[in-house]
Amino acid sequence: MIRKIDDYYVLETKQTTYCLKRLKSGHLQHLYYGKRLEIHSLQDCQQQFTQTYRTTGNTVAYSPQMEASLEDIPLEFSSYGKGDINEPLVQITYPDGSFTNDFLYENATISNQKEPLNSLPASHHADQQLVICLKEKNHPVYLYLYYSIFEDCDVIARSSKIVNQTHQSVYLERLMSSSIDFTQSFNVISFHGGWGNEMNKRVNKITSGKLVLSSFTGTSSSRCNPFFMLSDDDTDENQGNCYGFNLIYSGNHYSSIETTITNRTRVVNGISPICFGFEIQASGCFEAAEEIISFSSQGMNQLSDQFHRFVNQHIINPIYKDRIRPVLINSWEACYFSINEEKLIRLAQRAAEVGIELLVVDDGWFGKRNNDHCSLGDWDVNLEKLPNGLKGLCDQVNQLGLQFGLWIEPEMISVDSKLYRQHPDWVMEIPGREHSEGRNQRILDLINPEVQNYIIEKMSAVFRSCNLAYVKWDMNRIFSDIYSPTLKKQQKMTNHLYVVSLYKIVKELVQRFPHILFEGCSAGGNRFDLGMLCYFPQIWASDNTDAYCRSRIQENYSYGYPLSCFTNHVSAEINHQTGRYSSLQKRFQTAFMGNLGYELDLDALKPAELAIIKEQIQLYKKYRQQLLAGRFDRFSQNEEYRWQITTPEYIFRFTSSKTEDASSLQIEEKII
């Protein structure tokens, strides 16, 4: 529930309270975020929050009437120029060149309806929303702060918007989703990595100075996932205070955690302000991404559970809610680019025999795609490899009792492609300069409406060309030589508008093809974030399918993301990424904890191995719906991963050695 009590705003979820106050000056003071407090009256507010602040030493006094400096008051949002000297939420330069911003309270509304974002995806079905409107003291420029509460999940979503009501353009240099000033220091737990090595957990204790968690790849990135946590020293999986933060955004993000010598920690989170700049024209506006925050006083397992329920209920498109995620076989590690109809049908036959439900034809089915040097953009089937076309192949696969799925990479273009020869102006590259390549490919200028239209229509034609049940949407390079021919001199808008355009395209395709199950991918987990999850309910977690590495990767995703979001594949016994052996048992049991798939040449397996796989798939199918909805807890120790999923009827216990080829899966039926 959200309540206004005099000048206080009190936001309550089941187990948490968030509180802020409008000061006489018009600024907003952050008072509290943590374990639920009993606040019913003005007296309760006054008793709870008694701290006062005075201007001291060489700090700046905001005005003769205000006793405290903005440097010392814990604030709900911040901007440079009037005394506050820490990381700001908003930075605008005005036509006279000045960049001091002073936003003061105008009004606030509380409603049961959450305002939708126009340009970006957002959470859905909030219980209530508080919108606070502030006006810049010297310009008719408005800052809106949004707070949405999700009571059952103990989640608060924050975002912000700037509206320019002047008669001229103003220049926005940053608009973050939120800033919160805590009155303590923290351990920061964040997740870093790279290709095939996603989600390494790191803990940094910040006693003073600033830790910035950010990505600059053009995507949310495997280098630093946007999810992070703050905790007290004595917090562990099952006890203690911790906060979680995530962003509904798939591009460059930026989180600054800054602790002052007075033990105050400001957390500012949002779209990266680096190489960012937006001209907001008269009557124009700019929306920040939505940020998700949650608090637990019972350790990180509880915090994860809050995020898991929130993602399943308020992020994932409800059309996928109870849809069974099919067990699939993916052709990539079985065939790489050397696919052909005969091989694929053989794979589908073996797959049908063991109970697999869907065949995914990965890269290599279109143009002249025999390697990664060509053909991206030419989304016409290669009739040498698939002489009966996609429809001919799909019909045969369907006759074998399997659904049919396809890999695509629509944001990309190869220089060696018909599309590049026809439309060199559709590509993100700086005219007249040498381009630095990533996986031998370039990025289409998604900001160009013609390109958006091309992708939507071309993909729609592919999707309609056969009985397609599943699509894997890949994106295999990061950004370089950033330049959108569409934006000309406004290049600092490119990174963000690329993401906005991508959302526009995927939204349209998901709406047009609601029966297709979409899986996100970006060279594995290079775009594993809540933004993509608003459209695609599952994401390929990593190209690394080694069961040892994979346990670590899955465990660390589980801090912020539910098992229903990631897909895990059983691959060859000698792993293609690491060269390490692991038993079928260990590979299966690891992949069991999420959406199960296979990615190996089934035809090369012995009958005894296929028989085991058949049994394993039967086991998975029996429990998968419950598994994906159950409560997930980590009890891992130095030597071993230990996970538990609890559902109303069963307890699943998984253990896997970190160093040896050993694992176990116990399923206990609860006595009800």
Query: How many CB atoms within 10 Å of residue 668?
Result: 12
Nearer to ligand DGJ, 483 or 540 (CB): 540
Residue 502 beta carbon to ligand DGJ: minimum distance, rounded to whole angstroms: 17
Distances in Å between the alpha carbon of 616 and those of 43, 140, 597, 600, 610?
Answer: 61, 64, 12, 16, 10
Q: How far apart are CA 236 and CA 633, in angstroms?
A: 12
Question: Does residue 546 bind ligand DGJ (CB under 6 A)?
Answer: no
Identify the three-state secondary structure at position 612.
Answer: helix
Question: Does residue 521 bind ligand DGJ (CB under 6 A)?
Answer: yes
Region from 47-55, 124-132, 517-525, 578-586 binding ligand DGJ, contact rule CB under 6 A: 517-525
Among the listed residues 15, 197, 317, 476, the single contact to ligand DGJ using CB under 6 A: 476
Nearer to ligand DGJ, 147 or 561 (CB): 561
Nearer to ligand DGJ, 134 or 591 (CB): 591
Question: Does residue 362 bind ligand DGJ (CB under 6 A)?
Answer: yes
Tokens of 244: 């979680």
Nearer to ligand DGJ, 409 or 633 (CB): 409
Among candidate residues 339, 306, 205, the one with its CA nearest the CA of residue 632: 306
Among the listed residues 357, 474, 519, 633, the single contact to ligand DGJ using CB under 6 A: 474
| Residue 102 known to be catalytic | no
Kind of pairing between the strands at 538-540 and 517-520: parallel
Region from 131-139, 305-313, 419-427, 518-526 binding ligand DGJ, contact rule CB under 6 A: 518-526
Residue 553 beta carbon to ligand DGJ: minimum distance, rounded to whole angstroms: 13
Nearer to ligand DGJ, 287 or 363 (CB): 363
Identify the three-state secondary structure at position 313.
Answer: helix
Among the listed residues 8, 191, 332, 643, the single contact to ligand DGJ using CB under 6 A: 332
Question: Does residue 407 bind ligand DGJ (CB under 6 A)?
Answer: yes
Distance of alpha carbon 371 from its chain centroid, rounded? 30
Residue 157 beta carbon to ligand DGJ: minimum distance, rounded to whole angstroms: 30
Residue 510 beta carbon to ligand DGJ: minimum distance, rounded to whole angstroms: 20
Site size toward ligand DGJ (CB under 6 A) is 11
Question: Does residue 519 bind ligand DGJ (CB under 6 A)?
Answer: no
Contact 157, 175 (CB under 8 A): no
Q: How far apart are CA 416 and CA 616, in angstroms?
A: 43
Kindly name the residue from 378, 543, 601, 633 that is annotated as catalytic.
543
Question: Does residue 540 bind ligand DGJ (CB under 6 A)?
Answer: yes
Q: How far apart are CA 111 and CA 17, in angstroms?
A: 18
Residue 474 beta carbon to ligand DGJ: minimum distance, rounded to whole angstroms: 5
Question: Does residue 524 bind ligand DGJ (CB under 6 A)?
Answer: yes
Among candidate residues 263, 358, 306, 315, the one with its CA nearest the CA of residue 154: 306
Tokens of 295: 């608090």
Kindly name the residue from 84, 181, 474, 601 that is annotated as catalytic.
474
Closest residue by beta carbon to ligand DGJ = 363
Paired with 49 in beta bridges are none
Question: Does residue 195 bind ligand DGJ (CB under 6 A)?
Answer: no
Q: How far apart are CA 372 and CA 536, in angstroms?
A: 25
What H or E segment, with its residue span, contains residue 651? strand 650-657
Question: Does residue 134 bind ligand DGJ (CB under 6 A)?
Answer: no
Distance of alpha carbon 397 from its chain centroid, rounded? 33
Nearer to ligand DGJ, 66 or 406 (CB): 406
Region from 67-75, 166-174, 516-524, 583-591 binding ligand DGJ, contact rule CB under 6 A: 516-524
**Amino acid type, 514:** P
Question: Does residue 339 bind ligand DGJ (CB under 6 A)?
Answer: no
Q: How far apart are CA 404 and CA 395, in angstroms?
A: 9
Nearer to ligand DGJ, 299 or 410 (CB): 410
Among candidate residues 332, 326, 392, 391, the one with its CA nearest the CA of residue 358: 326
Query: How many CB atoms within 10 Å of residue 600?
Result: 22
Q: How far apart are CA 392 and CA 559, in angstroms?
A: 43
Angle between helices 584-592 and 547-557 (to 10 degrees): 10
| Residue 474 known to be catalytic | yes
Among the listed residues 543, 546, 601, 633, the single contact to ligand DGJ using CB under 6 A: 543
Question: What residues act catalytically?
Answer: 474, 543
Enumerate binding residues for ligand DGJ (CB under 6 A). 332, 362-363, 407, 474, 476, 521, 523-524, 540, 543
